[in-house]
Homo-oligomer: A and B are copies of this chain.
């Protein structure tokens, strides 16, 4: 049975994905189309170098949005003047076929840097892509945005905010990609979130910012940061709910839902880290400041030495401690506690825990590391993945 998955879950969204020839056989262009105009809010890379696709989208975000084009296999960045021209040509054609203005469409790209986007292939593919789009196309789109991802990443989420129709509720849907070049402050990652909510722009902005800050901005695969990162949330209002404004109960519910969607996708990205087979969740508690908590959690989750020790199931908590200390947060090492899974391994001094028990914790699909700093009341969670020889192999070789 065909299902409305991912970005197609909320009312009024269609999606699709096909191969147009950027890659040999795998799907490489995707589309998301809304029946009606959406308000769009986004967060994007802080990298000084930005892809043309991202620059295009940032320019249009303030306008009503009808559709998003996404390609994988090519990052569309650093191509000189020609790179921008190609981008404009493709987006003109895309908006023409959609019968809308070029101001109402967004673009996102992911893949290798340094090759020109194959303009003609993409333009030729656009018609079939748009024909293929349907409310059951969530899977195809989620597949078409993958690069080294091992699996597509989608989520469907129903809030309990009442929609206009009886027994219906405001919904959210999302898809994401990302596996390498994943680092705090976004990554070579793209995430597309749709909702049928009626919501004020400022409320959507605030909810998205908070959700991204506690999800995509807290994952790290390799401390490398991409030129293309982009998280966009499209709200088309088709649920017909009472408009969601800031500082209301519905806003809290919506924000919570959006955070859930973002965290789910972010964790999937970390879990899918190139060559990785384990998700590492780092919880930092009772830190002096939120900044300390976030920086320490991310530093540990991103430490090559911690990540390699997890691969080897070696409970080397010294690396966790050294990593925490390197951030120069405010805490007293003698008061610090470190847990691996449920086990306290450092409590101001080394604790005696049988190594086989800890090895078992480190072999779990989801490894939990907790650091309690006892210097305040702030906390943060970051996600990363283990480092394997496979990671190096993947990144030594050309795609």
Contacts and interface: CB of A to CB of B under 8 A. Distances in A.
A308 B114 contact: no
A48 B308 contact: no
Interface in A325-368: 325-329, 331, 333-334, 346, 348-350
Interface string A60-96: 0000000000000001011111110000000000000
Interface residues of A, number: 66
Contacts of A334: 80
12 contacts: A49-B322, A75-B318, A80-B334, A80-B348, A113-B317, A224-B305, A304-B395, A308-B395, A309-B395, A314-B398, A316-B398, A391-B392
A395 B322 CA distance: 15
Q: Which has the most chain B C-beta neighbours within 10 Å: A48, A82, A115?
A: A48
Interface string A283-312: 000000000000000000011110011011
A132 interface: no
Copies of this chain, how many?
2
Given A114-B317, A227-B325, A389-B393, 4 more contacts: A49-B324, A80-B349, A225-B326, A308-B392
Contacts of A396: 308-309, 311-312, 314
Interface in A42-65: 46-49
A104 interface: no
A interface secondary structure, majority = loop
A397 B312 CA distance: 6
Nearest to A393: B389
A211 interface: no
Given A322-B47, A326-B47, A333-B49, A395 B78 contact: no
Contacts of A329: 48
Contacts of A305: 180-181, 222, 224, 395
Q: Which has the most chain B C-beta neighbours within 10 Å: A80, A318, A331?
A: A318
Given A318-B75, A325-B227, A350-B114, A392 B389 contact: yes
A333 B224 contact: no
A38 to B, nearest CB: 30
A147 interface: no
Contacts of A19: none
Contacts of A318: 75, 77-78, 112-114
A154 interface: no
Contact of A48 (B80, B83, B325, B388): B325
A7 interface: no
A231 B201 CA distance: 55
Contacts of A394: 308
A322 B391 CA distance: 19
Contacts of A349: 78-83
A272 interface: no
Contacts of A302: 223
Contacts of A79: 349-350
A317 B394 CA distance: 17
